[in-house]
Amino acid sequence: MRTLFRLLVVLVLLVAIGFGIAWFAAGRATPPVIEIQSPAKVIGQKGTLTVSVQAPRGKFTAVTVAVEQNGKETPLFSLSGPGTATVAQETADRIRISEPFGKQAVPALTAGDARIVATATRPSFFGLREVSATMTRDIKVQLTAPLVQVVSTKHYINLGGSEFIIYRVNPPDVESGVKVGDIVYRGFSAQAAGIPHADPGLKIAVFALRYDQDLNTPMEVFARDEAGNEGTAQFDHQVFPKTFRRSTIDINDAFLQRVVPPIIQQTPQLGVSISGPGDLLPAFLKANGELRRIDAQKIASYAAQTAPRMLWNGPFIQLGNSAVESAFADHRTYLHDGKEIDQQVHLGFDLAVTSNVPVAAANDGTIVHASYLGIYGNCIIIDHGLGVQSLYGHLSSFAVKVGDTVKKGQIIGHSGATGMAGGDHLHFTMLVDGQMVNPVEWWDAHWIADRVLRKLDAVDGESQAAAVDRPAAEAPHRRARRRHRG
């Protein structure tokens, strides 16, 4: 009897100890994992709070997020009452919370330091215990937008053409540029562009009005800080319409047989195969439409590689003694057997001399592309800095490679008929921050002098006067200009 009682006591004790150990272990179980994704460092008028929390099977007893500032805590989120927040199940274990954050969404925020505090609690030990984790992030609340002031005057923009603007931003280290409708052109430091005495807030930007944008498209200079606060300024400008030519191109079977198979072969990503003559016309249409758009995106992507300084000097040069076969933004109607099959806009100049003529770099720069590029065949793109680039298509050979530095007039390759070309010619276009623009302006010494150098000279003079105590140095663009005149 006593033995049985002892056994019972030992058993109860063992169970109690076991329960104790389990209880203790449950309290030390892996806590939830919290990740504050945004804001990273600063928040302004508008922004988003994004927090991810993770626990086994995504089970939480509580998740809260708050912001602390000047000893005061403002709740931002609670899993029990998510309000305007979006709660998304990212994986079986992980949820992602996002909601508007910033002064407009949380009026209690004031400029200065703040701390985001996120806490998550998950059940443990059959729901009898809980394990919690807390994650904090120190941020800055920044509420004033950068100031922008336009310095240059008289901006004239042709439809499909380019223009140059000089402006000042404060604070100096913010992102800035020109917005033309929904297209953004980045601004660069004027100091880097060749005005050695310029203050760090002085910026320059090359921008354009695309051939297909409305003449009344709104244009403004903007400056945006890392908190997303944006200041803008209007600038005086006049826009001039331009009529583009219309032309008709007869596509015959000989052209299709010569041109289409190599393009299709070089572009497997288009997913087209040619097994008979009947496939040529549909393949041509796919290349002329879809591939033309893919190529334009690829070409625009090189804008990201532009040098933040002016590598070019003076006017750009046109292929020597060339006949202009097709001008910028020609509207082309394609005919096959007398029937209209397609319409496209030709965004460049077709310049023809004879076969296999040497092609020169239109200005100083760096080679950013030198290989096959869809309908442009063997294609070279030169970066001239500040978002300005030039493109040479349908080449038969390359004399340069990516990374090479070239001088104005240096031979970069030979003309040919690779890609979608009816015969040997050079397809040439200028690009401004990835947008194809009319090269005629860039070939024109008067345009360069009036639109670019006049504005640079004006601020150069001002900057020199403002920097009398610093040793005088001649601006590189002045040297370049003299060199060009000489």
Written as one string, the DSSP assignment of 16-82 is HHHHHHHHHHHHTSPPPEEEEEE-SSEE-SSEEEEEEEE-GGG--SEEEEEEEETTEEEEEEETTS-
Q: Are 395 and 367 in contact (CB under 8 A)?
A: no
SS3 176: strand
What residues pair up with 332 in beta bridges, in sequence order?
A: 247, 344
CA distance 424 to 353: 8
Tell the smallest beta-carbon distance from residue 445 to Zn ion (Å).
Answer: 25
Q: Are 72 and 66 in contact (CB under 8 A)?
A: no
Tell the smallest beta-carbon distance from residue 399 to Zn ion (Å).
Answer: 21
Q: Which is nearer to Zn ion, 293 or 479 (CB)?
A: 293
Residues found near Zn ion in the complex (CB under 5 A): 348, 350, 427
**CB within 8 Å of 121: residues ≥ 6 apart:** 32, 60, 61, 62, 63, 130, 131, 132, 133
Q: Which is nearer to Zn ion, 292 or 427 (CB)?
A: 427
Tell the smallest beta-carbon distance from residue 120 to Zn ion (Å).
Answer: 59
- Provide the 10 A C-beta neighbour count for residue 3: 7
Phi, psi of 26 (to 5 degrees): -65, -35
What is the number of the residue whose Cβ is closest to Zn ion? 427
Q: Please count the residues of the chain.
A: 486
Tell the smallest beta-carbon distance from residue 48 to Zn ion (Å).
Answer: 44
| Residue from 305, 345, 368 nearest 210 by CA | 345
CA distance 313 to 99: 49
Q: Which is nearer to Zn ion, 201 or 348 (CB)?
A: 348
Number of Cα atoms under 13 Å in the Cβ half of residue 1 = 0
Tell the smallest beta-carbon distance from residue 427 to Zn ion (Å).
Answer: 3
Q: Which is nearer to Zn ion, 290 or 457 (CB)?
A: 290
Q: Which is nearer to Zn ion, 286 or 427 (CB)?
A: 427
Tell the smallest beta-carbon distance from residue 156 to Zn ion (Å).
Answer: 27
Q: Which is nearer to Zn ion, 44 or 419 (CB)?
A: 419
Tell the smallest beta-carbon distance from residue 253 to Zn ion (Å).
Answer: 21
What element of type H or E holds 10? helix 2-27
Tell the smallest beta-carbon distance from residue 266 to Zn ion (Å).
Answer: 17
Tell the smallest beta-carbon distance from residue 346 to Zn ion (Å).
Answer: 6
Q: Give residue 24's Cα distance to chain centre.
A: 54
| Amino acid found at 265 | Q
CA distance 403 to 139: 40
Q: Which is nearer to Zn ion, 205 or 430 (CB)?
A: 430
Q: Which is nearer to Zn ion, 369 or 427 (CB)?
A: 427
Q: Which is nearer to Zn ion, 315 or 348 (CB)?
A: 348
| Amino acid found at 33 | V
